[in-house]
Amino acid sequence: DKTVSLRKDLSEMHEWITQAEEEYLERDFEYKTPDELQKAVEELKRAKEEAMQKEVKVKLITDSVNNFIAKAPPAAHEALKKELDVLITSYQRLCSRLNGKCKTLEEVWACWRELLSYLDAENKWLNEIERKLKATENIQGGAEEISESLDSLERLMRHPEDNRNQIRELAQTLTDGGILDELINEKLEKFNTRWEELQQEAVRRQKSLEQSIQSAQETDKTLRLIQESLAVIDKQLTAYIADRVDAAQVPQEAQ
């Protein structure tokens, strides 16, 4: 009777292990949405915790079998001991595989969250560029004011490539594993298109501002020369007035 009871406990534990392997380790998983990925992480965490809780059950079965073997005739030893060894090996392998898969999926989830954070940071920077381009679209003012706008735009464009490299690497890691590949490719295509368009527009705006500065400098130079010329003429005419020189005497200056 005791042997039957022990074999029943061993069999039930084997069945649970087989079911857990089929449910969490043998099925092919596809993660096409973040919700599916997050759900899989949570399920594996629960499975890992449940497997750890079964350790008490495995220990009780082990103690029961060992106690029985210690008192039972040698003929009953070998089969039970073999079944127990198989159970312990299967249980330890299950725990190891669940831990490994859970850790992998947690890393994948962290990788996805990190990718989103880098995309968010880069899109905020692109928003700044967009605002700056709009602000300099029809800028008015002298060479100094336009030069300040150009400097401001150039400072903004001196943005490190680190984040974009991280985005590329994280996306490659996930899509290589078939994780969220369609969603990631869509997000990357949208981001890269926007990045290229704004980069090109920024380069065009920089050239435009440089030309505007040159034009403004030429205008300032022309105005300065005119002002200097007028100052000379004004000084000459003032002298004529002081000397009571009649306009008819100096027709050229009178004109």
Domains of the chain, by residue range, sit at 2-212
- pLDDT value for 251: 66
The pLDDT tens digits for 62-87 are 999 999 888 877 766 788 889 999 99
Residue 32: predicted pLDDT:
87
Alpha-carbon distance 131 to 219, whole Å?
28
Res. 246: pLDDT tops 80: no
Q: Using CA atoms, how far apart are residues 111 and 17, in angstroms rounded to an integer?
A: 30
Distance CA 10, CA 83 (A): 7
Least confident piece of the model among 122-126, 156-160, 239-243: 239-243
Average pLDDT over residues 141-152: 88
Mean pLDDT, rounded, for 157-167: 92
SS3 content of the chain, % helix, strand, coil (to 5): 90, 0, 10
Structure confidence at residue 26 (pLDDT): 81
Q: Please answer whether residues 173 and 110 qualify as being in contact, where contact means their C-beta atoms are separated by less than 8 angstroms.
A: no
Q: Which CATH architecture has domain 2-212?
A: Up-down Bundle (1.20)
Tens-digit pLDDT profile for residues 31-46: 889 999 999 999 999 9
pTM to 2 decimals?
0.77
